[in-house]
Amino acid sequence: MIARAGGVAPPEVVASGFGWTYAGRPSPALSGLTFRLPPGSVLLVLGPSGSGKSTLARALAGIVPHALRGRWEGRLAVGAQEVPNTAPARLGERVGIVFQDPESQLVMPRVEDELAFGLENRGWSRSVMLDTVPRALRQVGLSGFEPRLTQALSGGEQQRLAIADVLAPLPGCIVLDEPTANLDPPGMAAVFEVLRALAAERRHTIVIVEHRVEAALPLADLVLILDEAGRQIAFGPPAEVGPRHAATLERSGGWVPGAWLGGATDGHGWSAGRSRVAGGGRPAGGRLPQHPVVEARGVVVRNPAETPGSWRTALDGVGLRLEPGERVALVGPNGSGKSTLLSVLAGLRRPDSGAVRVGGGRAEPATDPSRLRSDHLADLIGLLFQDPELGFVAPTVGREAVARAARRRGRQGISPTAVLARFGLAGSDDRNPYQLSQGEQRRLSLAAYALDPPAILLLDEPTFGLDRLGAERVLGLLDEASGGGQAQLLASHDPRLLPACDRVVALESGRVVFDGAVAEFLAAPPYRPAEPWRSGVAVTGAEMPGSSRAVL
């Protein structure tokens, strides 16, 4: 097969009455989609969680209907290729898709082999591949990364590599399904910089599904708004569609660009008013005992480094106090030690030096959590994993929700019905937790701590992948628990959460670089975002989207 070195003209994408119902589901995931994307245009798909945004992305790539079962309706075509009649491999030559999780879409151990993999599969000649690999890396700002190990890259670098993977075979149409959902702000900024350059080139028809609406909106020529049932609310240029349909989108629970709501955009890229997560309606903890429930002093944790016998310091003398009823945001760039600190506070790791003491519930104050018996630890501390799936311990949603309380009180007399209803999971009792959507999984992992809430709740990125309604729901549930005296520590990249916290602790390179009020933190962030472009590319820090605001 002859390699096409010149590139392919971007295709037109047309939908007409398009709909899809997954096998075994009573209602369609998508219905009545009718739109036309001119070649080289950029479409942003907006809608709440469960509105079928990912289903549309999958359909454009042919995963729906070719790899998943269900009922197809209407018409969806990329260029001259009707999706249902085109083999996925053929469609794959025109459409490249990038998913949320960078780790699970990379295949090969090294960067250059990763890029070459897709070209080899298409039978490209070796000489063309030798030209294409560095070109595709340059396009995403990863020049010189050829020999690096893909696992050793940061999330943002991995995601840019995944974009290079789909760009290299010159597909003409690119679909991105929440490409920055799992990234820290520097990683996110770098990915958006790549997307901005791609959009300006006009050499690809681009479809973006993205929760970071403020950053994505300026790239879009067209927006498609879906409601919670997967029906098309509106399609058209943002300036036309936005003001008219923002209220509907907001009501349905999706993130709404601040500009559409008429509010001024604050320094953090989010409108000062309504696009921020609502929250903070909890009672002040005046009557609560004022002794710390968590106290860490001089905590040092070292991890084995790549060269045998050497060590990398993950936490370097960290001190932290949490009072009952207090909610503290734990911020810092990737690799600054946030997750390590959570695992130390949760008693999953013993620090190499320093001390951690927890108190409350049945445990004596001044207890080392790493020495607590598992059941006593569970009474005292909860930890929500960044990936909720890894935290599940029961085979059904109902049993997962009551597993913790049932251990304490016995299974009799505990019904999950009320808890599940409160967490928007009514009727899901017998479903497998793995089958839930990301937002539902997040709520289930919170529901598991709702009965007999622990005195201390640690959360790792609690709003990852959630729409506005989902994030507000999570905060509402947290409000309830902190009203009861629960101390909460939220490790998060999401600046939208900060206003709902009492205090900010910022980590950088394993040290606490800030511990104080939210307003003070926002006024003068104590550290700069990590430089996302490591090697020589034509983009400077000054041109980074919000290099001053992407600090969390």
The verdict on 391 binding another protein (CB under 8 A) reads: yes
Q: Provide, for the chain, the percentages of residues in helix, strand and coil under a 3-state DSSP scheme, each rounded to the nearest 5.
A: 35, 25, 40
For another protein, the binding residue among 309, 410, 413, 536 (CB under 8 A) is 309
CA atoms of 51 and 254, how far apart (whole Å): 9
Distance of CA 518 to the CA centre of its chain: 23
* 85 near another protein, rule: CB under 8 A: no
Q: Which of 8, 197, 278, 348 binds another protein (CB under 8 A)?
A: 348
Length in residues, the chain: 552
Q: Which of 17, 304, 365, 541 binds another protein (CB under 8 A)?
A: 304
Is 330 a binding residue for another protein by CB under 8 A? The answer is no
Give the shortest CB-209-to-another protein separation in angstroms.
Answer: 16
Chosen residue from 343, 352, 399, 511 binding another protein by CB under 8 A: 343
The answer to whether residue 326 forms part of the interface with another protein (CB under 8 A) is no
Residues 87-106: x where in contact with another protein by CB under 8 A, - otherwise, as a string: -xx--xx---x---x-xxxx
Residue 302 binds another protein (CB under 8 A): no
Closest to another protein by CB, 116 or 199: 116
Among 6, 24, 287, 374, binds another protein (CB under 8 A): 374
The strand pair at 353-360 and 363-367 is best described as antiparallel
* Maximum alpha-carbon separation in the chain: 76
Task: Compute the least distance from the CB of residue 5 to another protein, in Å.
Answer: 14
Please select the residue that binds another protein; options are 14, 117, 138, 248, rule is CB under 8 A. Answer: 117
Phi then psi dihedrals of residue 488, to 5 deg: -125, 135
Structure-token match 């840019």, residue found? 160
The SS3 call for residue 508 is strand
Range in contact with another protein (rule: CB under 8 A) among 207-215, 264-272, 388-396, 538-546 = 388-396
Which string of DSSP letters, residue by residue, matches 383-444? Answer: EE-SSGGGG--SSSHHHHHHHHHHHHH-STT--HHHHHHHTT-TT-TTS-GGGS-HHHHHHH
Residue 373 near another protein by CB under 8 A: yes
Contact 22, 68 (CB under 8 A): yes
Pick the stretch among 7-15, 240-248, 318-326, 370-378 that binds another protein (CB under 8 A). 370-378
Q: Which of 403, 419, 450, 459 binds another protein (CB under 8 A)?
A: 403
Binding pattern to another protein, positions 424-463, x when CB under 8 A? ----------x-------------x---------------
Rounded to an integer, what distance in angstroms lies between the CA atom of residue 87 and that of residue 66?
8
Could you tell me which stretch among 111-119, 207-215, 290-298, 492-500 binds another protein (CB under 8 A)? 111-119
413 interacts with another protein by CB under 8 A:
no
Among 33, 44, 46, 119, binds another protein (CB under 8 A): 119
Q: Choose which of 210, 379, 467, 508 interacts with another protein (CB under 8 A).
A: 379
**Residues numbered 203-262 forming contacts with another protein, rule: CB under 8 A:** none
Q: Tell me if 123 contacts another protein by CB under 8 A.
A: yes
Residue with tokens 């050499």: 203
Secondary structure class of 189 (helix, strand, coil): helix
> How many residues bind another protein, per CB under 8 A?
73
* Position among 305, 366, 421, 517 found at the interface with another protein (CB under 8 A): 305
Which element (helix H / strand E) includes 320? strand 311-322
Name the strands in the sheet holding 42-46, side by side, starting at the edge strand that comes first in the sequence: 95-98, 173-177, 205-209, 42-46, 222-226, 232-236
Per-residue tokens: 335: 């690799």
Whole-number minimum distance, CB 359 to another protein, in Å? 17
Q: Side by side, which strands form the sheet with 503-508?
A: 381-384, 456-460, 487-491, 327-331, 503-508, 511-516
122 lines the binding site for another protein (CB under 8 A): yes
DSSP per position, 321-340: EE-TT-EEEEE--TTSSHHH
What span, in angstroms and rounded, lies between the C-alpha atoms of 182 and 392? Answer: 20
| Phi and psi based region of residue 514 (left: phi greater than 0; alpha: psi -120 to 50; beta: remaining) | beta
* 306 lines the binding site for another protein (CB under 8 A): yes
Of 3, 35, 145, 50, nearest to 470 by C-alpha is: 50
Under the criterion CB under 8 A, does residue 300 sit at the interface with another protein? no
Query: One symbol per residue from 263 to 282: x for binding another protein (CB under 8 A), - otherwise; what is it?
Result: --------------------
Locate 301 and state its tokens. 């944790």
Which of 36, 126, 244, 362: binder of another protein (CB under 8 A)?
126
307 in contact with another protein (CB under 8 A): yes
Q: Contact with another protein (CB under 8 A): which of 223, 346, 402, 456?
A: 346
Residue 392 is a binding residue for another protein (CB under 8 A): yes
Q: 101 or 266, CB closer to another protein? A: 101
Q: How far is the CB of 222 from another protein (least distance, A)?
A: 25
Q: Considering only residues 377, 498, 501, 522, which one is a binding residue for another protein as defined by CB under 8 A?
A: 377
For another protein, which residue of 382, 470, 499, 510 counts as binding (CB under 8 A)?
A: 382
Out of 75, 148, 302, 407, the only residue in the binding site for another protein (CB under 8 A) is 407
How buried is 229 (Cβ within 10 angstroms: 0-12 exposed, 13-18 middle, 19+ buried)?
middle
8 contributes a contact to another protein by CB under 8 A: no
Residues 149-188, mask of contacts with another protein (x by CB under 8 A): x-x-------------x---x-------------------
Peptide linkage before 453 cis (omega within 30 of 0)? no
Minimum distance of another protein from residue 440's CB (angstroms): 16
Helices (H) then strands (E): counts for the chain = 17, 20
Residue 108 found at the interface with another protein (CB under 8 A): yes
- Token output for 153: 């890259």
Candidates 390, 523, 538, 542; binder of another protein (CB under 8 A) is 390
DSSP 244-299: HHHHHHHHHT----GGGGTPPB-TTSSBSSTTSPP---SPP-TTS--S-SEEEEEE
